[in-house]
Amino acid sequence: MKALIALEDGTIFEGRSFTGHGEAVGEIVFNTSLSGYQEILTDPSYTGQIVTMTYPLIGNYGINPEDMESAAIHPMAFLIKEYNGFPSNYRSTMSLADFLQDYNTLGVEGFDTRALVRHIRSKGAMKGIVSTKDLDRNSLVERARSWTGLVGRNMVKRVTCDEPYGWASNRPVPGTDFSTARTKNPNPLRIVAFDFGIKFNQLRLLTEKGCQVQVVPATTTADTVLAMNPDGIFLSNGPGDPEGVEGVVETIRSLLGKKPIFGICLGHQILGLAYGGSTYKLKFGHRGGNQPVKDLETGHVEITSQNHGFCVDPESLDREKVEVTHINLNDNSVEGMRHRKFPAFSVQYHPEHAPGPHDAVYLFDRFIEMVRKNI
């Protein structure tokens, strides 16, 4: 069935839906990973975005129950060059089209994804609309333009949990007591994880490495967190503009120096704001599995998994207080920071991978070491 993709600047692409009728509006972004479409679709950081995959053949290994990064699909729509509806993989339990349909997410194939990506790359991120229902080109462009966009909006409130939960046997378990989260370690570290749209692999890795993790809603107060008496605090990834997330920056600022803190992606940006810095929107973002990041201390380069459209402004940081520890070798943007006085560090990229290279998993060990030192 025919589908139109319209961008706010008037550009139109014509493709076909492989998931039936649908319509979605959002920021059009692209991901350059060669595989990992299930993890990308279930990453809550894509809330409000329409994801285009640059790899030309998608769907060929199906969907399986183990690779979920949250309990739902988050992008507003999914755009690909060619859909393969005959998955061949021993782990696959369903097709990508069925998975998208289960979550009412529109999937469109059969158009020049490379032209779309090159357009965004040269003109910058854009608002867009995808539809099988409205095929009037002028109306679609108008509707893409009138969408509010992501800048300044709080998208975290759409995806954060309502109630605290723990993690056991590869799934969330309700409860507010650390003991609901199980680990094989006889002396587990107690970690409170702020859920800004957390990816399950962050919880899998923390648990595997001997932590009992208690996940809490984004609006949890500093007093509530301190009353839980954690050994460390983890700040997750999440969707949208960090400057649009209300209340959280003050909470994190008041926890600085009281407990060791590790932040990933939105968690890193929120730490940047808590340090008194600011963030800005990148031209078209970094999304993929091959972003080169240099550790400025060791000179080592890691190939990293990334998904972000905003970034901490290095000029805004007080360098007496905060050290930039990592930079992106493609555009020199800030990829990591460390507080000089308090036990707190963060990265813009995704050491939990899922999908992507595992080069940066050691950062979870670095966090655990920092927490143990501060007990």
Ligand X SMILES: NC(=O)CC[C@H](N)C(=O)O
Q: Binding residues for ligand X, per CB under 6 A?
A: 45, 237-240, 265-266, 307-310
Q: Is the CB of 17 or the CB of 45 nearer to ligand X? A: 45
Q: In terms of CB distance, is 27 or 67 closer to ligand X?
A: 27
Q: Minimum distance from CB of 305 to ligand X (Å)? A: 10
CB-nearer residue toward ligand X: 268 or 339: 268
Q: Is 356 annotated as a binding residue?
A: no
288 has which bridge partners?
A: 306
Q: How far is the CB of 136 from ligand X (least distance, A)?
A: 31
Burial (CB count <10 Å: 0-12, 13-18, 19+), residue 275: buried
8 A C-beta contact, residue 79 and residue 15: yes
62: DSSP letter: -
The encoded tokens of residue 211 equal 């932590």
Minimum CB distance to ligand X, residue 322 (Å) = 18
Backbone angles phi, psi at 249, to 5 degrees: -60, -45
Residue 307 is assigned to a ligand binding site: yes
Neighbours of 319 (CB within 10 A): 10
Q: Is 310 annotated as a binding residue?
A: yes
Q: How far is CA 311 from CA 103, 232, 270, 314, 347, in A?
A: 30, 24, 10, 9, 11
Q: Catalogue the active-site residues.
A: 265, 350, 352
Find the shortest distance in angstroms from Cβ 107 to ligand X: 22
- 238 assigned ligand-binding residue: yes
- Furthest-apart CA atoms within the chain: distance in Å: 63
Distance of CA 51 to the CA centre of its chain: 12
Would you say 269 and 309 are in contact if contact means Cβ atoms under 8 Å apart? no
CB of residue 307 to ligand X, shortest distance in Å:
4
SS3 state at 227: helix
- For the bound state, the minimum distance from the C-beta of residue 211 to ligand X, rounded and expressed in Å, comes to 20
The smaller minimum CB distance to ligand X, of residues 172 and 238, is found at 238
Residue with smaller CB distance to ligand X, 180 or 279? 279
Residues in the chain: 375
Q: Which residue, 117 or 265, has its beta carbon nearer to ligand X?
A: 265
- Would you say the C-alpha torsion 11, 12, 17, 23 has a positive or negative sign? positive
The pair phi, psi for residue 121, each rounded to 5°, is -65, -35
User: Residue 298 burial by CB count (10 A; 0-12/13-18/19+): exposed, middle or buried?
Assistant: exposed
Tokens standing for residue 55:
């790899």
Residues annotated within a binding site for L-glutamine: 45, 238, 240, 266, 269, 307, 309-310
Residues annotated within a binding site: 45, 238, 240, 266, 269, 307, 309-310
